[in-house]
Amino acid sequence: MTGARDMMELREETIRAQYDAALALLTGFDHAPRLAKAMAEAKTERSPGIGTRPMFRSTTPGMVTRSTARPGGVRLLERVESLGDGLVSPVQAAALHGLRRGLAVALAMAETFSAQSGLAELKKANLEGRLPEGKRVEFTEFLAAEALATLYTFANATAFLLASSMGSTTVEVGAVEEILTDNAPLALQGALWELDQDVALLASDEPRLIAVIGAFCEALMQRVALRAEAAPRLQAFTSGAWRVEADALSIAGFKPARAAKGGALTMQFKKPSEVVGNHIAKYQSLRLAKMLMAYDFERKLNPFAELGGFIFTFMGDGKPGTGKTTLIQMMAGFLNDYCKSAGYPFRYQNFSIDQIDSYQGKSGQNAKAFIDNVLDPGVIAFGTIDDIDQVAGKRGDRQSSAGQQEVTAVFMGAFAGANTVVRGNCTFGMFSNYPENVDDALRQRAGARFLVDGPQSREDYIDILSLLLGKNHRIPVGSHDLFAAQEIKRAVTASFEGYSKPHEDGLLKVWDKVQGDLGSLDTLTKLGTYLKAIQQADDRFTGRAIKNITDAVKVRAMDFELPDEWMENPDLFLFKPYDEKLVMIKGLTTPITVEMVIQEINRYADSEFRYADKSDEVAIEGMVRDFKRQEEAKRRYLEGKA
């Protein structure tokens, strides 16, 4: 990647000098399509009583600014404004400002390219009628190269500038067809004509307006970059790099700029050695962080999501003080560092109890905004819901507020609803000290379970004591190899092997009975019989549980860590084309084994039995307390009456 020091500055005064020409293109021009077919009426109908903005006439030579009164005119500014109620909204203003700025940057880049490539001299000679016949082919090729550089810069700059306004709404615009390379002004007119068609057909509201413009820019960049592969005379554009300081925009040939929409994190990050115990949870968190980095921004899909080994939602549960917050800090820290190295935008968001509002519908809106921000396909994102048992209400629970019930409904629809699309750019972690108080259906939407049980072994307790004491002491360690027990690979292997048999008493009874009847569970038939026996013992163990188990098995089949070098040097993997990344990942996968399936069944079912046993026990204890209070109240009443 080109460093900031190697970049030339695309001067602000050069860009602003193009504002009039850019506004003229948005205000109106005539264009008869050559390559694409008109799908929408170009003329915008306005409501009665709403006036039309006066047409701006540019004095820039070469710009077509004829009247657009006839139906063939392209009036993109008016098209955008017509989506509102007569007053320009903030979203419409952002779209128009982004388009004008993107056009101005593109025209400034065209001027720069023309000067640096020698095209400016050829243009001058052509205007003066002294262009030699032998230079005409070269002149035409340079004009086409300028057009391609201008189109790509327009799409690149506009997508970058509108990135902060993009939500989770996505629109498919198809391939861009009206790509003209006669000259730069005509190329921009062709692109704006097609954008106007897409806005008319697809932008039914403001969120879709921004989505249509963003999708069009992505499609235009892809098509132009493809054309540029075989086009000559582009060296002046591809060999240089420019920076627009006011927008923090970098232009480096036919490479898309990435808008840093995530913002800086102020979280205190943790290293894996500072997370004592929690071996499986720590291991899966580290792997999930690297999985997220495989997301392809062009395809808007992660190879792991396509292969079925991606964790979209997970639940981390454990007693208070066992390390849930530390685990979040560790995973967010790795993602933050990886994204910085790759130049990707990273976003971390937490949804907590303070976002439950007393106003009806507001809590649901807050939850929806949280989901949309994390799902944003333009960022790598990590969303957490801390103390989800307090945030999301249990359906049918009279103690849950209306706001908590709204949040539950939003989360259930987002995590496994009819419209849920898993792209693989984000993951949601739900954390709780009391997962038994979480609604059963919502809890089962957690595809993976991270048991956050803190330090367990003698070695763990020695390690955490040493870690928390710090270095301001001279107490000898003794006969112990500090943090050797925290070596993830070795600890995880032992942790997974520990689930070759269930841990919870209720599940252990089912296991013993099935094994006694069938012997070793080494066929799909026997494994299916075991699953049915679990369902008979706990009717909450449904088909969704089986899906979560099989997803976990697929994750185990990808029981490899993407090499650290791939994260440190993005060119080795992260910047590869999607199909190439897919092949590289497939080459690392391992076959699914019976042991994997048994361990994942036991690990998941253990958690469900643990939740169910706790839930039942809590309910029983509550009823016992109620009975005791009733008896005591009855005794005091009778004594007072006597």
Quick count: other Cβ atoms within 10 Å of Cβ 120?
14
Q: Is 641 part of any domain?
A: no
The model scores a pTM over 0.75: no
| DSSP code string of 249-296 | EEE-SS-------S---------GGGS-S-HHHHHHHHHHHHHHHT-B
- In this structure, the answer to whether residues 441 and 392 fall within a common structural domain is yes
Same structural domain, 241 and 102: yes
Q: Are 349 and 481 in contact (CB under 8 A)?
A: no
526: left (phi over 0), alpha (psi -120 to 50) or beta: alpha
Do 506 and 423 fall within a single domain? yes
Q: What is the pLDDT of residue 490?
A: 57
pLDDT, tens digit (0-9, with 9 covering 90-100), for 248-287: 888 989 988 865 454 445 556 666 666 666 677 778 888 8
| Per-residue model confidence (pLDDT) at position 352 | 87
Let me know if 188 is exposed, middle or buried by CB neighbors in 10 A (0-12, 13-18, 19+). Answer: buried
Do residue 241 and residue 285 come from a single domain?
no
Q: Is residue 58 part of a domain?
A: no
Q: Of 259, 424, 445, 428, which is closest to residue 348 (Cα–Cα)? A: 428
Per-residue b or e along 313-322, where b marks 16 or more CB atoms closer than 10 Å to that residue's CB: bbbbbbeeeb
Whether residues 182 and 310 share a domain: the answer is no
On whether residue 263 sits in a domain, the answer given is no
Helix (H) / strand (E) containing 582: helix 578-586
Structure-token match 């915008």, residue found: 44
Distance CA 286, CA 561 (A): 8
Q: Give the relative orientation of helices 594-641 and 524-537 as an angle to the nearest 10 degrees.
A: 10
* DSSP 8-state secondary structure symbol assigned to residue 561: P
Say if residue 82 is in the same domain as residue 173.
Answer: yes
55 assigned to some structural domain? no
630 within a domain of the structure (yes/no) = no
The count of domains in the chain is: 2
- Print the domain residue range for 563: 272-621
User: Using an 8 Å Cβ cutoff, are 206 and 92 in contact?
Assistant: yes
Partnered with residue 250 across adjacent β-strands are 243
DSSP per residue over 171-203, as a string? -----------S-HHHHHHHHHHHHHHHHHHH-
Strands 346-351 and 380-386: parallel
> Of 298 and 154, which is predicted with more confidence?
154
- The answer to whether residue 637 is domain-embedded is no
Output the CA angle 240-162-574, nearest 5 degrees.
Answer: 55
Which of 251, 286, 305 is at the close of a domain? 251
Q: Are 241 and 279 found together in one domain?
A: no
β partners of residue 380: 346
Nearest CA-CA partner of 217 in 280, 259, 186: 259
Residue, of 166 and 129, whose pLDDT is higher: 129
Q: Establish if 357 belongs to a structural domain.
A: yes
Gyration radius of the chain's alpha carbons = 31
Q: β-strand 380-386 against 249-251: which pairing, if any?
A: unpaired
Residues 377 and 287 in one domain: yes
What is the CATH number for 511?
3.40.50.300
pLDDT at 407 over 50: yes
Average pLDDT rounded to a whole number, residues 312-328 = 81
**Which is more confident, 306 or 467?**
306
**Closest residue by Cα to residue 103 from 154, 32, 45:** 154
Same domain membership, residue 481 and residue 354: yes
Beta bridge pairs of residue 450: 316
No. of helices (H) and no. of strands (E), the chain: 24, 10
> What digits encode the pLDDT tens for the residues 19-78?
999 999 999 999 999 988 887 654 444 443 433 433 333 333 344 433 333 445 899 999
Residue 416 is predicted with a pLDDT of: 84
Confidence of residue 640 (pLDDT cuts 50, 70, 90): confident
459 and 595 housed in the same domain? yes
pLDDT, position 45: 43
What pLDDT was estimated at residue 613?
A: 57
In this structure, the chain runs to a length of 642
Answer whether residue 235 is part of any domain: yes
Q: How confident is the model at residue 88 (pLDDT cuts 50, 70, 90)?
A: confident
CA 327 – CA 276 distance, rounded (Å): 10
My answer on whether 452 and 365 are in the same domain is yes
Pair 584, 562: CB distance under 8 Å: no
Average pLDDT over residues 69-90: 80
Residues 238 and 290 in one domain: no
The total of other beta-carbon atoms located within 10 Å of residue 397's CB is: 13
